Amino acid sequence: MYLEVTRPEEIEVSYKNEQGKPCKLKANGLLSRAIQHEMDHLNGVMFVDRVENGIALNEELKKRGFAASAVKPLKK
């Protein structure tokens, strides 16, 4: 299922490397989107939580045989 998800174009993340040393990384473009996507997974945020167009989401769910009422956001 493919729907529009709005994300910041550029991000800065803090993390620890393999040796435990604090690091920072600025990312943009695809790397920025990938990091945000993976952070969502780690934080329990689902794709349906990020889709802003509820009508499009409901239409796509129906196409695939899912009831919109069966898909509930985990976090808001």
pLDDT digits (tens, 9 = 90+) for 4-43: 899 999 999 999 999 999 999 999 999 999 999 999 999 9
Q: What is the pLDDT of residue 70?
A: 78
- pTM of the predicted model, to two decimals? 0.75
Q: Are residues 37 and 50 in the same domain?
A: no
Q: What is the mean pLDDT of residues 35-52?
A: 90
Q: Read off the DSSP letter of residue 52.
A: -
Give me the helices (H) in the chain, please.
29-42, 47-50, 54-63
Is 56 inside a domain boundary? yes
Active-site annotation holder among 10, 12, 18, 38: 38
Shared-domain flag, residues 39 and 25: yes
Distances from the Cα of 42 to the Cα of 23, 35, 36, 37, 45, angstroms: 19, 11, 10, 9, 8
Task: Please provide the distance, in angstroms rounded to a whole number, between the alpha carbons at the two ends of the chain.
Answer: 21
Confidence of residue 75 (pLDDT cuts 50, 70, 90): low
- Are 35 and 59 within one domain? no
38 is catalytic: yes
Same-domain status, 37 and 64: no
Pairwise CA distance, residues 54 & 67, whole Å: 13
Which pLDDT belongs to residue 2?
A: 84
How many domains is the chain partitioned into structurally? Answer: 2
Residue 76 has pLDDT above 60, yes or no: no
